[in-house]
């Protein structure tokens, strides 16, 4: 299934690229502005943006600390509440001219722990020919689902989904080093395709000679309903070739007056290289026997206040079902994240979030993070 999607994506990309080039060539002949003889600094600019996310978290489960790990009180004093800085991002975007740009983003909060292979998040060069053809080369997030396609500084609850981090650690998404192509196929239909190392961010080189390749098709079925399909193939640490695929949707439903509902959902299934590489089974099963899968739904009920200081309030509760090794260990993790979002500036430029993160495992494993728990949080985030 994923090979067919990749072939279709590449075909559409090539077709649209040729068409787009032909249109641009004809338009240049007809409308070329002879006054411009040097595009070296045409529309050159530099802009800065950032995200500061601070929080207070507290564990409401006995003998579970703030990072979700069960501990033995006889041998360890657990930390059950703390203030923390999760993200302190600074992003610089430089437009060299109307076609070339560069983007660098760092997260200074990573210095609070071991910063090896962290801190640097985005570091890519982008070439934009037109709306049909764009290319990025460097370190970025491949467009492999809703959470990669959305702006990196918009986080509506405590954090991203569990599947996002699991698929990221296995090289399928999150920050990776490589190249991607994207653009519009037609109005309302977009493509994304590319290749990358698949061994996560800030690595000096790939850990094997196989590159991950992926494709995504995204379509607006109506102005307020979007669906996407993803597929990928790749490897990690020479473990052999695995695969991943998934689908997602986003919808916005206007209600009476100032009320509206946003609804997102996503399903993913993929090879778990981390479980395969760490397995001590003898004989070890084939790579295809190490799979992870999960889905989540994320409804958001929003009321527009339109006050000078308070713009809106959101009520949400994300539900997630995730199994990080369903063919071997089959230990389902279910997560519920009820949340209230007070928005003090449009587009989430200032927001206070209050909520709980409730995790339930089929089988608790003592002295690990695979343990049923309740975590409360109050989070303040500012975009700039």
Is residue 33 one of the residues assigned to a domain? no
Is residue 162 one of the residues assigned to a domain? yes
Give the domain CATH number at 185: 2.40.160.10
Is residue 265 one of the residues assigned to a domain? yes
Domain hosting 64: range is: 2-28+43-383
As given in the structure block, the two tokens for residue 237 are 């640490």
Is residue 173 one of the residues assigned to a domain? yes
Give 338's contacts (C-beta < 8 A, 6+ positions apart).
316, 317, 355, 356, 358
As given in the structure block, the two tokens for residue 217 are 């098709």
Q: What is the pLDDT of residue 153?
A: 82
pLDDT tens digits along 155-207: 899 999 999 999 999 999 999 999 999 999 999 999 999 999 999 998 989 99
Q: What is the pLDDT of residue 351?
A: 97
As given in the structure block, the two tokens for residue 64 are 């579970």
Q: What is the pLDDT of residue 17?
A: 38
Low-confidence ranges of the chain (pLDDT < 50): 1-32
Residue written as tokens 């790990």? 69
Q: What is the pTM of this model?
A: 0.87
Q: What is the pLDDT of residue 149?
A: 83
> Per the structure, how many domains does the chain have?
1
Is residue 34 one of the residues assigned to a domain? no
Q: What is the pLDDT of residue 33?
A: 52
Round to whole Å and give the CA distance between 105 and 85.
17
Is residue 150 one of the residues assigned to a domain? yes
Is residue 255 one of the residues assigned to a domain? yes
Is residue 38 one of the residues assigned to a domain? no
Residue written as tokens 């579970």? 64
Q: What is the pLDDT of residue 384?
A: 93
As given in the structure block, the two tokens for residue 117 are 């292979």
Round to whole Å and give the CA distance between 163 and 173.
10
Query: In the Cβ-directed half-sphere of 52, how many Cα atoms lie within 13 Å?
Result: 3
Task: Give exposure, 160-189, as e/b (b: 16+ Cβ within 10 Å).
Answer: ebbbbbbbbbbbbbbbbbbbbbbbbbeeee
Q: What is the pLDDT of residue 238?
A: 86
pLDDT tens digits along 266-279: 999 999 999 999 99
């Amino acid at each position: 299934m994923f090979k067919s999607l990749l072939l279709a994506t590449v075909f559409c990309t090539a077709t649209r690229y040729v068409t787009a080039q032909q249109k641009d060539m004809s338009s240049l002949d007809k409308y070329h502005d002879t006054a411009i003889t040097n595009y070296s600094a045409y529309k050159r600019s530099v802009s800065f943006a950032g995200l500061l996310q601070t929080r207070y978290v507290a564990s409401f489960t006995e003998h579970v600390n703030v990072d979700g790990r069960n501990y033995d009180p006889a041998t360890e004093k657990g930390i059950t509440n703390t203030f923390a800085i999760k993200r302190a991002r600074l992003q610089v975007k430089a437009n060299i001219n109307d076609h070339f740009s560069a983007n660098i983003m760092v997260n200074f909060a990573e210095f609070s722990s071991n910063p090896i292979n962290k801190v640097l998040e985005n570091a890519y060069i982008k070439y934009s020919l037109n709306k049909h053809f764009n290319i990025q080369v460097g370190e970025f997030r491949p467009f492999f689902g809703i959470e990669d396609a959305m702006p990196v500084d918009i986080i509506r609850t405590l954090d991203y989904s569990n599947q996002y981090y699991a698929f990221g650690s296995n090289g399928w998404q999150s920050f990776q080093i490589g190249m991607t192509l994207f653009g519009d196929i037609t109005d309302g239909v977009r493509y994304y395709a590319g290749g990358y190392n698949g061994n996560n961010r800030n690595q000096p080189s790939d850990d094997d000679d196989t590159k991950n390749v992926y494709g995504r098709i995204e379509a607006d079925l109506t102005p307020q309903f979007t669906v996407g399909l993803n597929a990928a193939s790749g490897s990690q640490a020479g473990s052999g070739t695995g695969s991943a695929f998934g689908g997602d949707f986003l919808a916005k439903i206007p209600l009476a007056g100032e009320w509206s509902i946003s609804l997102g959902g996503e399903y993913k299934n993929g090879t778990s290289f981390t479980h395969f590489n760490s397995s001590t089974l003898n004989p070890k099963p084939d790579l295809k026997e190490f799979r992870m899968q999960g889905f989540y739904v994320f409804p958001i009920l929003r009321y527009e206040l339109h006050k000078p200081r308070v713009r809106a309030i959101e009520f949400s509760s994300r539900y997630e079902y995730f199994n990080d090794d369903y063919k071997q260990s089959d230990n389902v993790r279910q997560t519920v994240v009820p949340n209230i979002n007070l928005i003090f500036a449009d587009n989430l430029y200032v927001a206070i979030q209050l909520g709980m993160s409730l995790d339930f495992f089929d089988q608790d494993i003592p002295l690990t993070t695979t343990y049923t728990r309740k975590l409360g949080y109050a989070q303040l985030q500012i975009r700039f």
